[in-house]
Amino acid sequence: MTKDVSIDGLGLLTIDAEGRSRVFNASETAHVELIGINITGGNAATESEGNGGGVHGSGDTVITLRGCTVLGNTALIYGGGIRTSGQLFLEDTTVTNNSADRHGGGIALWQGAVISNSVVSDNVTVGRGGGVYIVLSPTYGSTPVTVRDSTLARNQAGATGGAIWTKDTLTIEGTTFEDNSAVEGGGAIRNVEASVTIRESHFEGNNASAGGAIANYRGIETIISGTRFVENWTVDSSGGAIFTDATTLDVVNGSFEGNRASTGAGAVYSKNSACTFTSSTFTGNEANVGGAFRFYGNTVDRIDALFRNCTISGNRANDIGGASADRSATVQMHHTTVTGNTAANQGAGIHQIQNSVLEASYSVIDAGCYSEPDSLLVSLGYNAVLSTATEQCVLTPVDGVNTDLILSPEEMKLEALADTGGSTLTHLPSIDSVLIDAVSAANCSPEINEDQRGKPRNNGASCDIGAVELQDDD
Protein backbone atom coordinates (compact mmCIF):
# COMPACT_ATOMS: atom_id res chain seq x y z
CA MET A 1 0.00 0.00 0.00
CA THR A 2 1.53 3.29 -1.13
CA LYS A 3 -1.62 5.41 -0.94
CA ASP A 4 -3.85 6.46 1.95
CA VAL A 5 -6.39 3.78 2.76
CA SER A 6 -8.91 2.86 5.49
CA ILE A 7 -10.29 -0.67 5.84
CA ASP A 8 -13.08 -1.44 8.31
CA GLY A 9 -13.62 -5.14 8.94
CA LEU A 10 -16.44 -4.48 11.44
CA GLY A 11 -14.87 -7.05 13.72
CA LEU A 12 -15.84 -9.79 11.26
CA LEU A 13 -12.92 -9.82 8.83
CA THR A 14 -9.95 -12.17 9.22
CA ILE A 15 -7.01 -11.98 6.85
CA ASP A 16 -4.78 -15.07 7.12
CA ALA A 17 -1.56 -15.20 5.11
CA GLU A 18 -1.18 -18.87 6.04
CA GLY A 19 2.57 -18.41 6.57
CA ARG A 20 3.23 -17.49 2.93
CA SER A 21 3.94 -13.75 3.23
CA ARG A 22 3.30 -10.64 5.27
CA VAL A 23 -0.33 -9.72 5.75
CA PHE A 24 -0.10 -5.94 5.23
CA ASN A 25 2.75 -3.91 3.75
CA ALA A 26 2.66 -0.08 3.67
CA SER A 27 5.36 2.17 2.22
CA GLU A 28 6.34 5.72 1.28
CA THR A 29 4.02 8.25 2.97
CA ALA A 30 0.85 6.17 3.10
CA HIS A 31 -1.60 6.73 5.95
CA VAL A 32 -3.13 3.32 6.64
CA GLU A 33 -6.07 2.78 9.00
CA LEU A 34 -7.13 -0.77 9.87
CA ILE A 35 -10.30 -1.23 11.93
CA GLY A 36 -11.81 -4.41 13.36
CA ILE A 37 -9.58 -6.85 11.47
CA ASN A 38 -7.97 -10.09 12.63
CA ILE A 39 -4.44 -10.16 11.18
CA THR A 40 -2.88 -13.61 11.35
CA GLY A 41 -0.57 -16.13 9.71
CA GLY A 42 1.88 -13.53 8.43
CA ASN A 43 5.47 -14.62 7.83
CA ALA A 44 8.36 -12.28 6.99
CA ALA A 45 10.84 -15.03 6.37
CA THR A 46 13.67 -13.77 4.16
CA GLU A 47 16.70 -11.63 4.96
CA SER A 48 15.49 -8.89 2.59
CA GLU A 49 11.84 -9.14 3.66
CA GLY A 50 12.33 -10.30 7.25
CA ASN A 51 10.51 -7.55 9.18
CA GLY A 52 6.89 -7.19 10.22
CA GLY A 53 5.13 -10.51 9.76
CA GLY A 54 1.64 -9.13 10.35
CA VAL A 55 1.97 -5.45 9.49
CA HIS A 56 5.01 -3.77 7.94
CA GLY A 57 5.55 -0.06 7.36
CA SER A 58 8.53 1.60 5.70
CA GLY A 59 9.39 5.21 4.97
CA ASP A 60 7.17 7.85 6.59
CA THR A 61 4.05 5.73 6.83
CA VAL A 62 1.47 6.39 9.52
CA ILE A 63 -0.29 3.20 10.58
CA THR A 64 -3.35 3.12 12.85
CA LEU A 65 -4.97 -0.06 14.19
CA ARG A 66 -8.31 0.19 16.03
CA GLY A 67 -10.09 -2.78 17.46
CA CYS A 68 -7.78 -5.22 15.68
CA THR A 69 -6.14 -8.47 16.68
CA VAL A 70 -2.60 -9.22 15.48
CA LEU A 71 -2.15 -12.92 16.18
CA GLY A 72 0.30 -15.67 15.34
CA ASN A 73 2.62 -13.82 12.96
CA THR A 74 6.38 -14.33 12.63
CA ALA A 75 9.44 -12.42 11.41
CA LEU A 76 12.98 -13.52 10.72
CA ILE A 77 14.41 -10.20 11.95
CA TYR A 78 12.25 -7.47 13.61
CA GLY A 79 8.62 -7.25 14.67
CA GLY A 80 6.82 -10.55 14.49
CA GLY A 81 3.44 -8.81 14.70
CA ILE A 82 4.23 -5.25 13.60
CA ARG A 83 7.35 -3.45 12.39
CA THR A 84 7.28 0.14 11.18
CA SER A 85 9.80 2.91 10.56
CA GLY A 86 6.92 5.42 10.55
CA GLN A 87 4.46 6.34 13.26
CA LEU A 88 2.17 3.77 14.88
CA PHE A 89 -1.13 4.23 16.72
CA LEU A 90 -2.75 1.26 18.46
CA GLU A 91 -6.20 1.66 20.03
CA ASP A 92 -8.21 -1.16 21.61
CA THR A 93 -5.97 -3.64 19.81
CA THR A 94 -4.50 -6.98 20.89
CA VAL A 95 -1.03 -8.06 19.75
CA THR A 96 -0.52 -11.64 20.89
CA ASN A 97 1.40 -14.85 20.21
CA ASN A 98 3.73 -13.32 17.64
CA SER A 99 7.46 -14.06 17.40
CA ALA A 100 10.67 -12.61 15.97
CA ASP A 101 14.04 -14.28 15.65
CA ARG A 102 15.99 -11.10 16.35
CA HIS A 103 14.13 -8.34 18.27
CA GLY A 104 10.56 -7.26 18.94
CA GLY A 105 8.44 -10.36 19.24
CA GLY A 106 5.22 -8.33 19.14
CA ILE A 107 6.17 -4.87 17.85
CA ALA A 108 9.34 -3.16 16.59
CA LEU A 109 9.37 0.65 16.36
CA TRP A 110 11.74 3.10 14.68
CA GLN A 111 9.62 6.23 15.17
CA GLY A 112 7.03 7.53 17.63
CA ALA A 113 4.02 5.53 18.75
CA VAL A 114 0.96 5.71 20.99
CA ILE A 115 -0.40 2.44 22.37
CA SER A 116 -3.67 2.91 24.27
CA ASN A 117 -6.28 0.60 25.77
CA SER A 118 -4.50 -2.32 24.18
CA VAL A 119 -3.05 -5.70 25.12
CA VAL A 120 0.43 -6.92 24.18
CA SER A 121 0.74 -10.49 25.40
CA ASP A 122 2.47 -13.84 24.94
CA ASN A 123 4.90 -12.58 22.30
CA VAL A 124 8.41 -14.06 22.08
CA THR A 125 11.77 -12.99 20.72
CA VAL A 126 15.20 -14.58 20.72
CA GLY A 127 16.76 -11.17 21.36
CA ARG A 128 15.45 -7.92 22.86
CA GLY A 129 11.93 -6.73 23.54
CA GLY A 130 9.59 -9.68 23.81
CA GLY A 131 6.57 -7.40 23.56
CA VAL A 132 7.90 -4.12 22.14
CA TYR A 133 11.31 -3.10 20.79
CA ILE A 134 11.98 0.66 20.51
CA VAL A 135 15.01 2.02 18.65
CA LEU A 136 16.35 5.56 18.55
CA SER A 137 16.03 6.40 14.84
CA PRO A 138 19.23 7.73 13.21
CA THR A 139 17.01 9.57 10.73
CA TYR A 140 14.34 11.12 12.95
CA GLY A 141 16.16 11.38 16.29
CA SER A 142 14.12 11.06 19.47
CA THR A 143 10.45 10.36 18.73
CA PRO A 144 8.68 9.51 22.01
CA VAL A 145 6.59 6.41 22.59
CA THR A 146 3.58 6.46 24.94
CA VAL A 147 1.86 3.40 26.41
CA ARG A 148 -1.41 4.26 28.15
CA ASP A 149 -4.12 2.24 29.94
CA SER A 150 -2.82 -1.02 28.51
CA THR A 151 -1.67 -4.49 29.63
CA LEU A 152 1.62 -6.17 28.75
CA ALA A 153 1.64 -9.76 29.98
CA ARG A 154 3.62 -12.99 29.60
CA ASN A 155 5.96 -11.64 26.92
CA GLN A 156 9.41 -13.27 26.76
CA ALA A 157 12.83 -12.10 25.61
CA GLY A 158 15.79 -14.41 25.13
CA ALA A 159 18.06 -11.45 25.95
CA THR A 160 16.70 -8.30 27.65
CA GLY A 161 13.41 -6.45 28.06
CA GLY A 162 10.69 -9.06 28.46
CA ALA A 163 7.84 -6.62 27.73
CA ILE A 164 9.70 -3.53 26.43
CA TRP A 165 13.26 -2.76 25.35
CA THR A 166 13.80 0.94 24.74
CA LYS A 167 16.55 3.25 23.60
CA ASP A 168 14.19 6.20 23.11
CA THR A 169 11.97 8.36 25.30
CA LEU A 170 9.15 6.30 26.79
CA THR A 171 6.11 7.35 28.84
CA ILE A 172 3.89 4.78 30.56
CA GLU A 173 0.58 5.66 32.21
CA GLY A 174 -2.01 3.47 33.91
CA THR A 175 -0.53 0.27 32.53
CA THR A 176 -0.10 -3.22 33.98
CA PHE A 177 3.02 -5.36 33.43
CA GLU A 178 2.43 -8.92 34.54
CA ASP A 179 4.48 -12.14 34.32
CA ASN A 180 6.88 -10.90 31.63
CA SER A 181 10.36 -12.41 31.58
CA ALA A 182 13.84 -11.90 30.17
CA VAL A 183 16.80 -14.24 30.31
CA GLU A 184 19.11 -11.30 31.04
CA GLY A 185 18.04 -7.85 32.36
CA GLY A 186 14.62 -6.24 32.74
CA GLY A 187 11.78 -8.71 33.06
CA ALA A 188 9.30 -5.97 32.11
CA ILE A 189 11.42 -3.03 30.86
CA ARG A 190 15.03 -2.60 29.80
CA ASN A 191 16.05 1.06 29.49
CA VAL A 192 19.29 1.83 27.66
CA GLU A 193 20.41 5.46 27.46
CA ALA A 194 16.83 6.74 27.44
CA SER A 195 14.42 8.77 29.55
CA VAL A 196 11.53 6.73 30.96
CA THR A 197 8.53 8.12 32.88
CA ILE A 198 6.07 5.75 34.58
CA ARG A 199 2.84 6.95 36.23
CA GLU A 200 0.06 5.11 38.09
CA SER A 201 1.07 1.67 36.83
CA HIS A 202 1.47 -1.85 38.23
CA PHE A 203 4.31 -4.38 37.90
CA GLU A 204 3.68 -7.88 39.21
CA GLY A 205 5.34 -11.27 38.79
CA ASN A 206 7.93 -10.14 36.25
CA ASN A 207 11.35 -11.82 36.33
CA ALA A 208 14.83 -11.62 34.83
CA SER A 209 18.44 -12.33 35.66
CA ALA A 210 18.79 -8.72 36.93
CA GLY A 211 16.01 -6.21 37.49
CA GLY A 212 12.93 -8.40 37.82
CA ALA A 213 10.68 -5.54 36.67
CA ILE A 214 13.02 -2.81 35.37
CA ALA A 215 16.70 -2.68 34.41
CA ASN A 216 18.29 0.71 33.70
CA TYR A 217 21.70 0.87 32.06
CA ARG A 218 23.27 4.28 31.40
CA GLY A 219 19.76 5.68 31.16
CA ILE A 220 19.22 9.43 31.22
CA GLU A 221 16.60 9.10 33.95
CA THR A 222 13.74 6.94 35.15
CA ILE A 223 10.91 8.80 36.91
CA ILE A 224 8.25 6.70 38.65
CA SER A 225 5.14 7.93 40.48
CA GLY A 226 2.09 6.25 41.99
CA THR A 227 3.24 2.78 40.94
CA ARG A 228 3.27 -0.62 42.68
CA PHE A 229 5.90 -3.34 42.33
CA VAL A 230 4.61 -6.66 43.68
CA GLU A 231 6.40 -10.02 43.77
CA ASN A 232 8.83 -9.36 40.96
CA TRP A 233 12.01 -11.43 41.17
CA THR A 234 15.46 -12.15 39.80
CA VAL A 235 16.76 -15.54 38.79
CA ASP A 236 20.44 -15.30 39.72
CA SER A 237 21.36 -11.66 40.30
CA SER A 238 20.24 -8.39 41.94
CA GLY A 239 17.32 -5.98 42.03
CA GLY A 240 14.12 -7.93 42.54
CA ALA A 241 12.08 -4.96 41.32
CA ILE A 242 14.63 -2.50 39.89
CA PHE A 243 18.28 -2.69 38.84
CA THR A 244 19.82 0.67 38.00
CA ASP A 245 23.37 1.34 36.81
CA ALA A 246 24.83 4.77 36.01
CA THR A 247 21.51 6.59 35.81
CA THR A 248 19.07 8.73 37.80
CA LEU A 249 16.10 7.10 39.53
CA ASP A 250 13.29 9.15 41.10
CA VAL A 251 10.38 7.37 42.85
CA VAL A 252 7.37 9.18 44.37
CA ASN A 253 4.42 7.43 46.03
CA GLY A 254 5.82 4.03 45.12
CA SER A 255 5.01 0.74 46.78
CA PHE A 256 7.41 -2.22 46.70
CA GLU A 257 5.90 -5.37 48.19
CA GLY A 258 7.25 -8.91 48.32
CA ASN A 259 9.92 -8.55 45.64
CA ARG A 260 12.94 -10.82 45.91
CA ALA A 261 16.44 -11.22 44.53
CA SER A 262 18.69 -14.25 44.70
CA THR A 263 21.74 -12.10 45.53
CA GLY A 264 21.39 -8.39 46.36
CA ALA A 265 18.47 -6.00 46.93
CA GLY A 266 14.99 -7.45 47.04
CA ALA A 267 13.52 -4.12 45.89
CA VAL A 268 16.14 -1.75 44.38
CA TYR A 269 19.77 -2.36 43.46
CA SER A 270 21.68 0.79 42.57
CA LYS A 271 25.22 1.09 41.22
CA ASN A 272 26.86 4.42 40.43
CA SER A 273 23.41 6.04 40.32
CA ALA A 274 21.57 8.87 42.05
CA CYS A 275 18.31 7.65 43.61
CA THR A 276 15.55 9.67 45.29
CA PHE A 277 12.62 8.02 47.08
CA THR A 278 9.74 10.17 48.33
CA SER A 279 6.57 9.10 50.19
CA SER A 280 7.17 5.44 49.30
CA THR A 281 6.88 2.13 51.16
CA PHE A 282 9.14 -0.93 50.96
CA THR A 283 7.83 -4.02 52.72
CA GLY A 284 8.23 -7.79 52.61
CA ASN A 285 11.14 -7.68 50.15
CA GLU A 286 13.90 -10.29 50.45
CA ALA A 287 17.44 -10.92 49.24
CA ASN A 288 20.64 -12.52 50.40
CA VAL A 289 22.30 -9.10 50.89
CA GLY A 290 20.12 -6.03 51.44
CA GLY A 291 16.54 -7.12 52.00
CA ALA A 292 15.15 -3.98 50.35
CA PHE A 293 18.19 -2.11 48.97
CA ARG A 294 21.80 -2.40 47.98
CA PHE A 295 23.62 0.81 47.13
CA TYR A 296 27.02 0.74 45.45
CA GLY A 297 28.43 4.25 45.50
CA ASN A 298 30.53 6.28 43.14
CA THR A 299 33.71 8.20 43.77
CA VAL A 300 31.79 11.33 42.72
CA ASP A 301 30.90 13.52 45.72
CA ARG A 302 27.13 13.13 45.71
CA ILE A 303 24.23 11.51 47.53
CA ASP A 304 23.68 8.01 46.15
CA ALA A 305 20.25 7.59 47.77
CA LEU A 306 17.90 10.11 49.37
CA PHE A 307 14.79 9.06 51.34
CA ARG A 308 12.08 11.53 52.36
CA ASN A 309 8.87 10.45 54.12
CA CYS A 310 9.45 6.75 53.45
CA THR A 311 8.56 3.53 55.28
CA ILE A 312 11.00 0.61 55.14
CA SER A 313 9.34 -2.22 57.04
CA GLY A 314 9.47 -5.99 57.37
CA ASN A 315 12.18 -6.69 54.79
CA ARG A 316 14.59 -9.61 55.21
CA ALA A 317 18.18 -10.39 54.33
CA ASN A 318 19.26 -14.01 54.39
CA ASP A 319 22.76 -12.79 55.17
CA ILE A 320 23.40 -9.08 55.89
CA GLY A 321 21.52 -5.79 55.79
CA GLY A 322 17.84 -6.42 56.52
CA ALA A 323 16.75 -3.05 55.12
CA SER A 324 19.84 -1.89 53.24
CA ALA A 325 23.40 -2.97 52.51
CA ASP A 326 25.63 -0.09 51.44
CA ARG A 327 29.09 -0.14 49.90
CA SER A 328 31.02 3.09 49.27
CA ALA A 329 27.65 4.88 49.27
CA THR A 330 26.24 8.04 50.83
CA VAL A 331 22.62 7.65 51.93
CA GLN A 332 20.36 10.28 53.52
CA MET A 333 17.11 9.60 55.36
CA HIS A 334 14.71 12.35 56.43
CA HIS A 335 11.41 11.63 58.23
CA THR A 336 11.79 7.96 57.34
CA THR A 337 10.69 4.95 59.39
CA VAL A 338 12.94 1.87 59.35
CA THR A 339 11.26 -0.84 61.39
CA GLY A 340 10.81 -4.60 61.68
CA ASN A 341 13.57 -5.53 59.23
CA THR A 342 15.69 -8.62 59.90
CA ALA A 343 18.97 -10.19 58.82
CA ALA A 344 20.34 -13.66 59.47
CA ASN A 345 23.74 -12.18 60.26
CA GLN A 346 24.91 -8.55 60.55
CA GLY A 347 22.86 -5.38 60.32
CA ALA A 348 19.19 -6.17 60.83
CA GLY A 349 18.49 -2.60 59.74
CA ILE A 350 21.54 -1.08 58.01
CA HIS A 351 24.84 -2.63 56.90
CA GLN A 352 27.72 -0.37 55.81
CA ILE A 353 31.18 -1.10 54.43
CA GLN A 354 33.97 0.63 52.46
CA ASN A 355 33.54 4.30 53.40
CA SER A 356 29.76 4.37 53.38
CA VAL A 357 27.89 7.21 55.10
CA LEU A 358 24.34 7.25 56.49
CA GLU A 359 23.00 10.68 57.42
CA ALA A 360 19.62 10.72 59.16
CA SER A 361 17.19 13.28 60.53
CA TYR A 362 13.71 13.02 62.07
CA SER A 363 13.84 9.26 61.39
CA VAL A 364 13.01 6.05 63.25
CA ILE A 365 15.53 3.21 63.19
CA ASP A 366 14.36 0.35 65.39
CA ALA A 367 16.75 -2.39 64.22
CA GLY A 368 20.48 -2.89 64.36
CA CYS A 369 23.19 -1.14 62.37
CA TYR A 370 26.50 -2.69 61.37
CA SER A 371 29.10 -0.17 60.29
CA GLU A 372 32.74 -0.91 59.59
CA PRO A 373 35.30 1.50 61.11
CA ASP A 374 35.79 3.29 57.79
CA SER A 375 32.04 4.04 57.49
CA LEU A 376 29.94 6.63 59.32
CA LEU A 377 26.51 6.82 60.96
CA VAL A 378 25.70 10.52 61.24
CA SER A 379 22.79 12.24 62.97
CA LEU A 380 21.49 15.43 61.41
CA GLY A 381 19.15 15.70 64.40
CA TYR A 382 16.03 14.32 66.05
CA ASN A 383 16.14 10.61 65.29
CA ALA A 384 14.67 7.81 67.41
CA VAL A 385 16.72 4.65 67.91
CA LEU A 386 15.55 1.48 69.65
CA SER A 387 17.47 0.83 72.86
CA THR A 388 17.08 -2.96 72.77
CA ALA A 389 18.27 -3.54 69.19
CA THR A 390 21.23 -5.87 68.76
CA GLU A 391 24.06 -3.83 67.16
CA GLN A 392 22.34 -0.66 68.37
CA CYS A 393 22.59 2.23 65.94
CA VAL A 394 24.83 4.90 67.42
CA LEU A 395 24.64 8.03 65.30
CA THR A 396 27.27 10.71 65.74
CA PRO A 397 25.78 14.26 65.85
CA VAL A 398 27.03 16.35 62.97
CA ASP A 399 27.35 19.45 65.17
CA GLY A 400 28.30 17.71 68.42
CA VAL A 401 24.87 18.33 69.99
CA ASN A 402 22.93 15.11 70.52
CA THR A 403 19.17 15.52 69.94
CA ASP A 404 18.44 11.86 69.21
CA LEU A 405 16.18 9.74 71.40
CA ILE A 406 17.09 6.23 72.61
CA LEU A 407 13.72 4.59 73.21
CA SER A 408 12.44 1.31 74.56
CA PRO A 409 9.79 -0.59 72.57
CA GLU A 410 7.21 0.62 75.10
CA GLU A 411 8.17 4.21 74.35
CA MET A 412 8.46 3.92 70.57
CA LYS A 413 5.11 2.14 69.99
CA LEU A 414 4.40 1.92 66.29
CA GLU A 415 1.10 0.48 65.09
CA ALA A 416 1.04 -2.32 62.50
CA LEU A 417 1.62 -1.48 58.84
CA ALA A 418 -1.76 -0.48 57.43
CA ASP A 419 -3.69 1.77 55.08
CA THR A 420 -3.80 4.95 57.16
CA GLY A 421 -4.56 7.29 54.27
CA GLY A 422 -2.56 8.35 51.26
CA SER A 423 -1.49 5.99 48.50
CA THR A 424 0.94 3.75 50.44
CA LEU A 425 0.91 1.65 53.61
CA THR A 426 2.36 3.29 56.74
CA HIS A 427 2.90 2.80 60.49
CA LEU A 428 0.96 5.19 62.72
CA PRO A 429 2.59 6.00 66.05
CA SER A 430 0.35 4.94 68.93
CA ILE A 431 -1.44 7.75 70.71
CA ASP A 432 0.97 7.44 73.67
CA SER A 433 4.16 7.03 71.61
CA VAL A 434 7.11 9.23 72.56
CA LEU A 435 7.57 9.86 68.82
CA ILE A 436 4.58 12.22 68.86
CA ASP A 437 5.50 15.92 69.18
CA ALA A 438 9.08 14.90 69.95
CA VAL A 439 10.48 17.83 67.96
CA SER A 440 9.70 21.38 69.03
CA ALA A 441 8.01 23.62 66.49
CA ALA A 442 11.12 25.74 66.18
CA ASN A 443 13.16 22.68 65.18
CA CYS A 444 10.73 21.06 62.71
CA SER A 445 12.13 20.41 59.26
CA PRO A 446 11.87 23.58 57.17
CA GLU A 447 11.84 21.52 53.95
CA ILE A 448 9.32 18.73 54.68
CA ASN A 449 5.89 20.21 55.37
CA GLU A 450 3.80 17.08 54.80
CA ASP A 451 4.04 13.49 55.99
CA GLN A 452 4.13 10.36 53.80
CA ARG A 453 0.37 10.51 53.40
CA GLY A 454 0.35 14.13 52.28
CA LYS A 455 -1.00 15.35 55.63
CA PRO A 456 0.48 18.44 57.31
CA ARG A 457 3.49 18.34 59.60
CA ASN A 458 3.56 20.46 62.76
CA ASN A 459 -0.01 19.34 63.42
CA GLY A 460 0.27 20.14 67.11
CA ALA A 461 2.66 22.34 68.99
CA SER A 462 5.54 20.26 67.61
CA CYS A 463 6.44 17.63 65.00
CA ASP A 464 6.51 13.83 65.15
CA ILE A 465 9.56 11.70 64.38
CA GLY A 466 9.17 9.24 61.48
CA ALA A 467 7.28 9.06 58.20
CA VAL A 468 3.82 9.76 59.64
CA GLU A 469 2.50 12.81 61.51
CA LEU A 470 -0.39 11.79 63.76
CA GLN A 471 -3.51 13.85 62.99
CA ASP A 472 -6.50 14.64 65.17
CA ASP A 473 -8.70 12.36 63.04
CA ASP A 474 -6.32 9.35 62.98
What's the whole-number mean pLDDT along residues 245-252? 95
Confidence of residue 141 (pLDDT cuts 50, 70, 90): low
Per-residue model confidence as pLDDT tens digits over 80-110: 999 999 999 999 999 999 999 999 999 999 9
Averaged pLDDT, 335-348: 96
Could you report the per-residue pLDDT of 343-370, keeping only the tens digit for each?
999 999 999 999 999 999 999 999 889 9
Per-residue confidence (pLDDT) for residue 1, from 0 to 100: 74
Q: Which residues of 319-355 are buried (b: 16+ CB within 10 A; e: fewer)?
A: bbbbbbbbbbbbbbbbbbbbbbbbbeebbbbbbbbeb
Radius of gyration of the chain (CA): 25
Residue type at 305?
Answer: A
pLDDT the model gives residue 26: 93
The reported pLDDT for the residue numbered 453 is 98
How confident is the model at residue 160, as a pLDDT?
98
Task: Give the pLDDT confidence score for residue 165 in this predicted structure.
Answer: 98
The pLDDT of 380-403, averaged and rounded, is 88
Q: Which of 135, 58, 72 is nearest to 100 (CA)?
A: 72
Q: Where are the beta strands (DSSP E) in 321-460?
A: 324-327, 330-334, 337-339, 342-343, 350-353, 357-361, 364-365, 369-371, 376-381, 384-386, 396-397, 405-407, 439-440
The DSSP letter of residue 16 is E
Please determine, for residue 38, whether its predicted confidence score (pLDDT) is greater than 80: yes
- Between 103-112, 138-147, 370-379, 432-441, the lowest mean confidence (pLDDT) is in 138-147
- Name the pLDDT band for 269 (thresholds 50, 70, 90): very high
b/e code 75-109 from CB counts within 10 Å (16+ = b): bbbbbbbbbbbbbbbbbebbbbbbbbbbbbbbbbb
pLDDT at 299: 57
Percent of the chain with pLDDT over 90: 88
Burial, 199: exposed, middle or buried (Cβ in 10 Å; 0-12, 13-18, 19+)?
middle
Confidence of residue 9 (pLDDT cuts 50, 70, 90): very high
Q: Is the pLDDT of residue 387 over 90?
A: no
CA dihedral 76, 80, 85, 91 (to 10 degrees): 180
State yes or no: pLDDT of 466 exceeds 80.
yes
Among 201, 109, 197, residue whose Cα is nearest residue 152? 201
Q: Which of 345, 334, 344, 391 is nearest to 367 (CA)?
A: 391
The band of 313, judged by pLDDT with boundaries at 50, 70 and 90, is very high
Q: Which of 215, 114, 210 is closest to 166 using CA atoms?
A: 215
How would residue 240 be classed by pLDDT, with cut points 50, 70 and 90?
Answer: very high
Rounded to 5°, the CA angle 37-181-124 comes to 40
Residue 388 has pLDDT above 90, yes or no: no
pLDDT number for residue 147: 98
pLDDT given at position 460: 63
Q: What is the pLDDT of residue 28?
A: 82
Q: What is the pLDDT of residue 390?
A: 67
Please classify residue 58 by burial: count the beta carbons closer than 10 Å to its beta carbon, then call 0-12 exposed, 13-18 middle and 19+ buried: middle
At 198 the pLDDT is: 98
Mean per-residue pLDDT of the chain: 94
Residues in CB range of 68: below 8 A, 6 or more apart:
34, 35, 36, 37, 38, 39, 93, 94
Q: pLDDT tens digit string along 317-333? A: 999 999 999 999 999 99
423, amino acid identity: S
Going by pLDDT thresholds of 50, 70 and 90, the confidence category of residue 459 is: low
Confidence of residue 300 (pLDDT cuts 50, 70, 90): low
| The predicted structure's pLDDT at residue 228 | 98
Spatial distance between the Cα atoms of 211 and 215, rounded to a whole number of angstroms: 5
pLDDT in tens, 392-416: 788 999 988 999 999 999 999 999 9
pTM of the model: 0.97
Sign of CA pseudo-dihedral 244, 290, 282, 202: positive
Confidence at residue 135, expressed as pLDDT on a 0 to 100 scale: 92
**Per-residue pLDDT band at 166 (split at 50, 70, 90):** very high
DSSP label at 165?
Answer: E
Name the nearest CA neighbour of 78 among 143, 116, 125: 125
